[in-house]
């Protein structure tokens, strides 16, 4: 037994690992419980590198100056449907990859207290003892001072504590794909390589940029071109798409390699009709496209007794904000700061919650305004007061 405060973290993806690394370094006894029995595989692709993520790495003692965290892009180029360039502006930024963040955070936390194949099934709170107990599907349980639900958009912790708080479909999906930079078709290579490209059409918005390649390889010639194509899809079409190649319905995403074959032809036809040649060609050159549903969520509460939720479990900003990972990092940084500010955990959680709820709602609003404008042509409503 140790007299350190103890935290159980449910979900071992980015939000869970940001929190685990920060609390572990702040003197907490931390265990992570991840449903997947394997290391998590790449969730696909590119992530715009934001300062909050760099700050977590810095606090983990990683020499961020010496580490190459991503691939730089130079210009932001907007193409018209015919391939003409509508605008081109110098706007340097760095894109990293989900797997680079995940592998760095996993290494930082180590394996000993990261438990795979552990699915949370229930939780109980003892208000007198000021403890929380997590019950797992294998029949085991753990008790601690704090439980952090970092279990994503379909969070079990959220469903147990706030069953009415559920994500809502935004009316469009993100088709996605990765192409080796050396396999980019000539017109795509010439027009898109090295920059952040965009193209809009009716009910269609595509963007793309280079990201690190396999095993976080950032050498020229070994990187990947990552594209994300937002397309309006009604609920009936969505239900069809979300049945994977084995006939199994999925909740909100279909990973690489699991999309049913018919959607390949569907994408090629739509690319012909809607995309300028550089993007149309890159979509056609993609071997294993995949898909993610765009959903809206921002909860009113993130704390219930000694259980909290953060990351996508608490708020899912639309990807146009480029903020999902940085919001998860911000939630974790401020939780660690609040817990370091007092030895009273309840006071710390009460201090932590309001700004994090507000952050989730602000990002949700920003993402909805941007996405609804791009995909449905809706003008953002001006807020008064």
Ligand X SMILES: Cc1cc2nc3c(=O)[nH]c(=O)nc-3n(C[C@H](O)[C@H](O)[C@H](O)COP(=O)(O)OP(=O)(O)OC[C@H]3O[C@@H](n4cnc5c(N)ncnc54)[C@H](O)[C@@H]3O)c2cc1C
| x/- map, 241-270, ligand X, by CB under 6 A | ------------x-----------------
Residues 6+ apart with CB under 8 A from 332: 15, 18, 19, 22, 56, 310, 311
Give the dihedral of Cα atoms 11, 13, 17, 19; nearest 10 deg.
-60
Sites for ligand X among residues 304-333 (CB under 6 A): 311-313, 324-325, 328
Burial (Cβ within 10 Å: 0-12, 13-18, ≥19) of residue 358 = exposed
Residue 342 DSSP code: -
CA angle at 120 for the pair 114 and 122, rounded to the nearest 5°: 145
206 binds ligand X (CB under 6 A): no
> What b/e sequence results for 197-212 when a residue is b if at least 16 CB atoms lie within 10 Å of its CB, and e otherwise?
bbbbbebbbbbbbbbb
> CA 158 to CA 147: how far, in whole Å?
12
Question: Looking at beta carbons, which residue is closest to ligand X?
Answer: 311
| x/- map, 72-101, ligand X, by CB under 6 A | --------------------------x---
224 binds ligand X (CB under 6 A): no
In this complex, which beta carbon is closest to ligand X, that of residue 121 or of residue 187?
A: 121
44 binds ligand X (CB under 6 A): yes
DSSP H stretches of helix in 118-242? 156-161, 186-192, 235-241
Binding ligand X (rule: CB under 6 A), the pick from 68, 119, 201, 370 is 119
Binding ligand X (rule: CB under 6 A), the pick from 20, 22, 30, 33 is 33
CB of 197 to ligand X, least distance (A): 16
CB of 81 to ligand X, least distance (A): 25
45 binds ligand X (CB under 6 A): yes
CB of 82 to ligand X, least distance (A): 29
Are 135 and 147 a contacting pair, CB within 8 Å? no
In this complex, which beta carbon is closest to ligand X, that of residue 39 or of residue 234?
A: 39
User: 65 to each of 69, 145, 213, 218, 259, how far by Cα in Å?
Assistant: 9, 36, 21, 16, 39
CB of 240 to ligand X, least distance (A): 19
286 binds ligand X (CB under 6 A): no
Are 239 and 256 a contacting pair, CB within 8 Å? no
Which region, judged by CB under 6 A, interacts with ligand X, from 39-47, 214-222, 258-266, 274-282?
39-47
> CA 291 to CA 368: how far, in whole Å?
19
Counting residues that bind ligand X (by CB under 6 A) gives 33
In this complex, which beta carbon is closest to ligand X, that of residue 43 or of residue 306?
A: 43
User: Which residues form the interface with ligand X (CB under 6 A)?
Assistant: 10-16, 33-36, 40, 43-47, 98, 119-120, 150-153, 156, 253, 292, 311-313, 324-325, 328
């Amino acid at each position: 037994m140790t007299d350190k405060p103890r935290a159980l973290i449910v979900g071992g993806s980015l939000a869970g690992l940001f929190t685990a690394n920060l609390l572990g370094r702040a003197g907490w006894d931390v265990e992570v419980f991840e449903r997947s029995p394997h290391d998590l595989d790449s969730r696909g692709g590119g992530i715009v590198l934001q300062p909050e993520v760099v700050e977590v790495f810095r606090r983990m003692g990683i020499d961020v100056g010496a580490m190459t965290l991503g691939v730089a892009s130079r210009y932001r180029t907007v193409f018209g449907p015919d391939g003409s360039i509508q605008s081109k502006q110098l706007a340097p930024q760095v894109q990293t990859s989900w797997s680079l963040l995940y592998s760095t955070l996993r290494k930082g936390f180590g394996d000993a207290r990261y438990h795979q194949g552990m699915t949370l099934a229930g939780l109980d709170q003892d208000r007198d003892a000021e403890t929380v107990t997590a019950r797992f599907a294998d029949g085991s349980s753990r008790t601690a001072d704090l439980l952090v639900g970092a279990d994503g958009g379909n969070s079990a912790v959220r469903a147990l504590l706030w069953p009415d708080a559920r994500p809502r479909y935004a009316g469009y999906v993100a088709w996605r794909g990765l192409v080796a930079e050396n396999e980019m078709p000539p017109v795509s290579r010439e027009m898109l390589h090295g920059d952040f490209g965009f193209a809009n059409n009716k009910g269609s918005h595509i963007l793309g940029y280079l990201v690190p390649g396999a095993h976080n390889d950032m050498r020229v010639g070994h990187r990947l071109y990552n594209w994300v194509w937002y397309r309006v899809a009604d609920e009936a079409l969505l239900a069809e798409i979300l049945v994977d190649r084995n006939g199994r319905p999925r909740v909100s995403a279909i990973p690489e390699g699991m999309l049913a074959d018919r959607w390949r032809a569907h994408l090629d036809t739509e690319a012909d009709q809607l995309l300028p040649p550089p993007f149309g060609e890159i979509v056609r050159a993609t071997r294993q496209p995949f898909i993610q549903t765009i959903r809206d969520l921002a909860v009113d509460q993130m704390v219930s007794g000694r259980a909290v939720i953060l990351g996508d479990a608490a708020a899912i900003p639309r990807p146009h904000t480029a903020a999902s990972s940085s919001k998860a990092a911000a939630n974790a940084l401020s939780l660690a700061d609040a817990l370091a500010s007092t030895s009273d955990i309840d006071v710390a959680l009460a201090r932590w919650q309001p700004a994090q709820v507000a952050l989730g709602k602000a990002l949700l609003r920003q993402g909805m305004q941007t996405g609804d404008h791009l995909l449905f042509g809706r003008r953002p409503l001006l807020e008064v007061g």
